[in-house]
Amino acid sequence: MKAILKADQLTAGYGHKVIIDQQTVEIPEGCVTGLIGPNGCGKSTLLNTLNGFEAPMAGNVELDGKQMSQYSAKQRAQEIAVLPQRTVIPEGISVFELVSYGRYCRQRGMHRLSKADRQAVEDAIKAVHLVDKHDELLTSLSGGQQQRALIAMTLAQNSRILMLDEPTTYLDLTNQLEILDLLHELNATFQKTVIIVLHDLNEAARYCDHLICMIHGRVAAVGSPDDVLTETTLANIFKVSGDITYDNDCPQITNCHPLPVAQP
Amino acid sequence: MTHRTMVVCVALVAVVLIAILLDIFGGTRWYSVSDLWRPSTKLVGEVIWQIRVPRALAAAMTGMLLALAGLLLQTVSHNPLADPSIIGVNAGANLAMIVGELLGISLTILNAFWLSLVGALLAFVVVIGLSMSGHGFNPLRLLLGGTIFSGFISSISYAVSFITNTTQQFRVLLVGGFSGANYQQVLLLGIAVIVVLGGAVMFQTELTLLGLDSKTSVGLGVSFKRLMIVAVVLVVLAAGSSVAVAGNIGFIGLGIPQIVNFVHPGSFKSNLAAVALCGSGFMLIADLIAKTAISSVELPLSALSAIVGGVVLFIIVAFRKEAVGA
């Protein structure tokens, strides 16, 4: 499968601190790719380098065969839409206004909404099933609805790639599943390449076509959920013991226990 | 702009115009409207046109600049408590003027302006430096570092003027006021208003997107570095030119955007005009009170602004708590 995003011999971190050291990662086009791994393993750092927010300390990030540093901020936003973890929900802003922010990267001059912009905003609101909340204030919506409105904002960017950093973490189970179903639907209908950081391995197995598992800033396992979610991965990377059972051919972890931490 | 904001803005423009007229006619002696074009004596005409009018215009523009500086700072720092006087930008401008004068640069109006701008810029750069951490710009550090830095710089200003026996000379700088305002200052303030307001309008979409957290706005395609540079330039210009004319006046930058956002919660774009106009109106009314409250004494404007503003903010905070509790 063709790689739309590629990190070659990537070294990345904050300040002088190296978090990811010389790793090579490829993101297949048109798939839902999940980034998994324990806390502090470098998932977010990888995401923030792949999307061009942070420049790599060494190595290359290529989008569509072109160096990321050659894209301007707006050009990059036309290709990659990003929803970071824990976005601030501003006061006094309606769903429509929030979603219209997504059009910024497609506008010129004084940034007035054109007819095409309005249409894209309406389409995005429809895609996340929020048409009836169109004019309501964001602050009056539930957490799950707010998250859907934010996703609609990223959809309005009309980018080929959508990246989300733990989009389900602060939601209850119903809303988590709704958001993941929505992402799956967007991938299927718009052939969007989705890259998503997830904590829940069972959700990752169910909703992703491709998994990248990281530990200590290294890529430890790559492949389909079947290849990645094995009892060995669980033990070596997540330090848990568990059984892999298959639910409609999808690997799911059951009977999970933390392994005793080996004393050095 | 929606129909409702349009109506509100027209109303606010009317309030500012009335406040300008009140500030012109009010003072130790009140004049009548007809004195504007048919003064009863030559002296009255001169007082109105050479003292009262430039003073009112200076107050209106300074109020607008300080309120805009506050709104810009609060937007880029994601902190509702940020304000050029709190993080030490005003104090830096103040100190630069005092030091400049003591080094023998005579404080002509033009010199005062550039000294003030340089001081504001240096102070801002130091405070931004203090707020940088390993992960980049940290808004909380901006406020913490800025508050301490501001106190430090103000103390140096007071100490320097006290040691060199120039407290009386720098009175206007230290306590704030418009008593000596003239047309040259009005002109320079006018230029600052055009640049700051123009810049804020030009970048209003980017600044509105920054109302989301900075990562989200970067994801939407905002060039964060460029926007920060624009914001720094605008804040320095606004705060520096205000201090050059009227000394260090607090509260407006903090309080006006807060009050506007309390009455009408909204984005940068939707509140920009209201904040600018309310800043003008507030400053004019504060100046009028400073001139007229106690006959023959002019109250220190910075203290007055802080007292009036403090009371207003106090009411808002109390109100809000109630609303949340209910």
Task: Let me know: does B244 contact B112? Beta carbons within 8 Å.
Answer: yes
Residue A263: pLDDT over 70: no
CA B206 – CA B231 distance, rounded (Å): 11
Tell me which chain B residues have a C-beta less than 8 angstroms from the C-beta of A146.
Answer: none
- Enumerate helices (H) and strands (E) in chain B, giving the number of each: 14, 2
Please give the pLDDT value at position B325. 32
* Residue A243, in any domain of the structure: yes
Residue contact A93–B221, C-beta within 8 A: no
Residue A17: pLDDT over 50: yes
Confidence grade of residue A262 (pLDDT, cut at 50, 70, 90): low
Please give the pLDDT value at position B169. 76
According to DSSP, residue A169 is labeled T
CA B96 – CA B31 distance, rounded (Å): 38
Tell me which chain A residues have a C-beta less than 8 angstroms from the C-beta of B264.
Answer: 92
Residue contact A73–B212, C-beta within 8 A: no
Residue B326: pLDDT over 70: no
**CB distance from B171 to chain A under 8 Å?**
no
According to DSSP, residue A233 is labeled H
**CB distance from B292 to chain A under 8 Å?**
no
Tell me which chain A residues have a C-beta less than 8 angstroms from the C-beta of B224.
Answer: 73
Residue A109: pLDDT over 80: no
**Residue span of the structural domain in which A30 resides:** 3-89+158-258
Task: Let me know: does A59 contact A10? Beta carbons within 8 Å.
Answer: yes
pLDDT tens column, B268-319: 998 999 999 999 999 999 999 888 888 777 888 888 887 877 787 787 777 7
Work out the average pLDDT over B105-118: 90
Confidence grade of residue B249 (pLDDT, cut at 50, 70, 90): confident
**CB distance from B267 to chain A under 8 Å?**
yes
Q: Pairing state of beta strands A80-83 and A66-67?
A: unpaired
For residue A262, the Cα-to-chain-centroid distance in whole angstroms is 33
| Region B3-325: CATH code | 1.10.3470.10
Please give the pLDDT value at position B312. 74
Q: Which of A230-239, B68-77, B134-143, B206-215 has the highest mean pLDDT?
A: B68-77
Work out the average pLDDT over A241-247: 86
Please give the pLDDT value at position B42. 86
CA B228 – CA B73 distance, rounded (Å): 10
Q: How many beta-carbon contacts under 8 Å exist across A and B?
A: 83
- Pairwise pLDDT comparison (A162 vs B322), residue with the higher score: A162
Grouping H, G, I as helix, E, B as strand and the rest as coil, residue B163 is helix
Q: Tell me: ipTM over 0.90.
A: no
Please give the pLDDT value at position B16. 96
Task: Let me know: does A128 contact A182? Beta carbons within 8 Å.
Answer: yes
Closest residue of B to A51, CA-based?
Answer: B219
**CB distance from B79 to chain A under 8 Å?**
no
Q: Pairing state of beta strands A193-197 and A161-165?
A: parallel
Please give the pLDDT value at position B134. 66
- Residue from the list A14, A15, A105 with its beta carbon closest to the beta carbon of B220: A105
Percent of chain A with pLDDT over 90: 54
Task: Let me know: does A158 contact A119? Beta carbons within 8 Å.
Answer: no
Interface test with A, best of B132, B138, B212, B224 (most A CBs within 10 A): B212
Residue contact A88–B212, C-beta within 8 A: yes
* Burial (CB count <10 Å: 0-12, 13-18, 19+), residue A209: middle
Tell me which chain A residues have a C-beta less than 8 angstroms from the C-beta of B220.
Answer: 77, 81, 101-102, 104-105, 153, 157
For residue B257, the Cα-to-chain-centroid distance in whole angstroms is 11
Tell me which chain A residues have a C-beta less than 8 angstroms from the C-beta of B78.
Answer: 88
Tokens 């992703």 map to which residue? A208
Short-list A12, A71, A67, CA closest to A45: A12
B262-265: Cβ within 8 A, 24+ apart: B262/B316, B262/B320, B264/A92, B264/B8, B265/A91, B265/A92
pLDDT tens column, B121-138: 999 999 988 888 766 777
Q: A127 to chain B, minimum CA–CA distance in Å?
A: 19
Q: A100 to chain B, minimum CA–CA distance in Å?
A: 10
Percent of chain A with pLDDT over 70: 98
Please give the pLDDT value at position B324. 37
Grouping H, G, I as helix, E, B as strand and the rest as coil, residue A18 is strand
* Residue A138, in any domain of the structure: no
Please give the pLDDT value at position A245. 87
Q: Any idea what the CATH number is for the domain that residue A33 is in?
A: 3.40.50.300
Give the least confident one: B26-40, B43-57, B254-268. B26-40
Please give the pLDDT value at position B19. 95
Arithmetic mean of pLDDT over chain B: 87
Interface test with B, best of A17, A71, A91, A135 (most B CBs within 10 A): A91
Residue contact A92–B264, C-beta within 8 A: yes
Residue A67: pLDDT over 70: yes
Interface test with B, best of A47, A111, A150 (most B CBs within 10 A): A111
Confidence grade of residue B214 (pLDDT, cut at 50, 70, 90): confident
